[in-house]
Structure 1
Amino acid sequence: MSDTAVETKKSLVPKWEQLARDEVRASIRKFTKPLQDLVKRDANEGDTRLLVTDMLCYGLGYDKFDDLTTEYAVRGEFADYGVRIDKQLVAFIEVKRATQKLHARHLRQVETYAVKEGLEWIILTNGQVWQAYHVQAATGQKVATHLAFEVDLLSDETPTRKTEALFHLHRSAMKKGLIDALWRRKAATSAPAMAAILLSPPVLDAARKEIRRSSGYNPDLDELARIVRAEVLKAELFI
């Protein structure tokens, strides 16, 4: 992309968004070496938290005193960080030591905290890898927690791709609900959602008409649904 094209694209972006992206991009550059050092010496969780706090404040736009609460109390237990925007609690952050591989099992306790507080977002990080999880806890249904995105700040991905992902955790982006919009797009095109669409009556009817047009055979809709379930889609999509 030419410099002129880049400048044109930038001019179409709201000023607040460009400033936020610039902050994120600059912080990724700034903290790459400290992150590498933490990983090299297998830093403990406390040292990792110090770096995470700096990233939240200097790269993601949060105020250390107004927006962040460490050891956030939830009914006698504690989340590593509670994140507030305009005094409204919006997310919990769970921090692991720099070399700890992140896993969904690390979410279980903080997931409980999120449900108790009515939050939809959990951020899991070891400083290097940042994962954002969406929590859905509808009344009478099992809690559903899904990965919205993941970014590895020490990976070979381009700075632009890293910035694009981490930008969704910037205070300004969270306040504007961009991470919620990202999740809605991902959920709408997820494998289970697409499976449901393929098995919906209008789509099956359109498939039947196309089969009839191309072959002269007019299949039954229930038979088409059986074939799609058994031979086209993965069984785990229906669990």
Structure 2
Amino acid sequence: MMVKLPQKVIERLTKTINKFQKVLQVAKDRDVNEANTVIIVGDILSDIFGFDKYTEITSEFAIRGTYCDLAIKTDDKIQYLVEVKAIGIDLKENHLRQAIDYGVNQGVQWIVLTNGIIWEIYKIQYNKPIDHDFVCSFNLLEINPRRADDQEKLYLLCKESLSKSVREDFHERILNVNRFVIAAIIQTEDVINIIKRELKKLCSGLRVDNDEIESIIYNEILKREVLDGEIAARAKQRIKRVISKSLKKASVEKIDEPTIQKIIGAQPSEKPLQEE
């Protein structure tokens, strides 16, 4: 667990989660509609996550001629938007696109997509083109408020976490510490060179090249799911950028004084006069 939760938050979570698990189960069994699901989600945002129902939770938040179901606003700033679907509907890609569009049109970074039971958290990246990162998800019927990992996910949406860099720190961690990034690192030349060095220690005179090691890693060790697809491609590109930046920095640091003087248009420093 990355962050220590305030005791009052832990107490609130353990007190309210069980209550809403019962509420959600009844609502699921009744297959309530979207409007009723929004009401339940509003109560969850208030009772579980600690926001004031009347001053910090806005229903039917207007965004350029359309409406997002809920918005969390504190200190005159939209903290995140919540797009709600009926409790019996599975969350799908088109629902996410709708939520992301709301966020982009409002200039908000954090988006929550939920049907009351499943909660998905996303962060919009305002790059060119605009993109988004999946941060985490949890099932409110199955979550255990006494388990550290579950507490951490719940805390991301709590009012008390907004004054800290909790969301940003969690996002940075999942962005960098995951199977796709680790798989990309394993395929880098530096790591392959280390493997080659260790292999040569096993047998004197062993001849093995980088292509052979890379082929074994790619075809026999790593799973296809961490090698192919958009997320894997992003991870590889991220590692390439880091390596490229590191190489540029190292190249600058290795430039000797005469070269530096030449670059800046000065002459190399003269040798000191020898004493007669």
Instruction: Give the TM-score taking structure 2 as reference length.
Output: 0.72
Matching residue's letter, 2:191: V
Larger Rg: 2
1:189 to 152, 168, 177: 177
The counterpart of 2:233, out of the listed 221, 229, 238, is 238
Shift of 1:13: 4.8
- Alignment partners' CA distance in 2, 1:123 and 1:29: 21
Residue 22 of structure 1 and its aligned partner are, at CA, apart by 1.6
Q: Cα distance 1:19–1:198, how it changes in 2: closer, same or farther (>3 A)?
A: same
AA in 2 matched with 1:238: A
Q: Which residues of structure 2 form unaligned runs of 5+?
A: 235-276
Give the one of 24, 27, 44 matched to 2:13. 24
RMSD of aligned residue pairs (Cα, Å): 2.3
Matched length:
223
Contact 1:136–1:144 (8 Å) recurs in 2: yes
Q: 1:158 aligns with which of 135, 144, 155?
A: 144
TM-score (norm 1): 0.82
**Paired position in structure 2 for 1:84:** 73
**Corresponding residue of 2:85:** 96
Judged with a 3 Å threshold, the aligned counterparts in structure 2 of structure 1 residues 229 and 152 are, in CA distance, closer, same or farther, namely same
Worse overlay, 35-44 or 24-33: 24-33
Distance 1:151 1:37, change over 3 A: same
Point out where structure 1 has 5 or more consecutive residues left out of the alignment: 1-11
**Compared CA separation, residues 199 and 47, structure 1 to 2 (3 A):** same
Work out whether residues 58 and 72 of structure 2, in 8 Å CA contact, stay in contact via their aligned partners in 1. Answer: yes
- Residue 39 of structure 1 aligns with which residue? 28
1:175 aligned partner, one-letter code: S
Higher normalized contact order (CA 8 Å, seq sep 6+, divided by chain length): 1
Query: 5 Å matches for 1:68-217?
Result: 68-138=57-127, 140-141=128-129, 143-146=131-134, 148-155=135-142, 157-161=143-147, 162-216=150-204, 217=206
1:98-144 Cα offsets, whole Å, 9 max, x none, are: 22222333111111222233333211112222221232231x23523
Provide the rounded CA distance (Å) in 2 between the counterparts of 1:222 and 1:77: 54
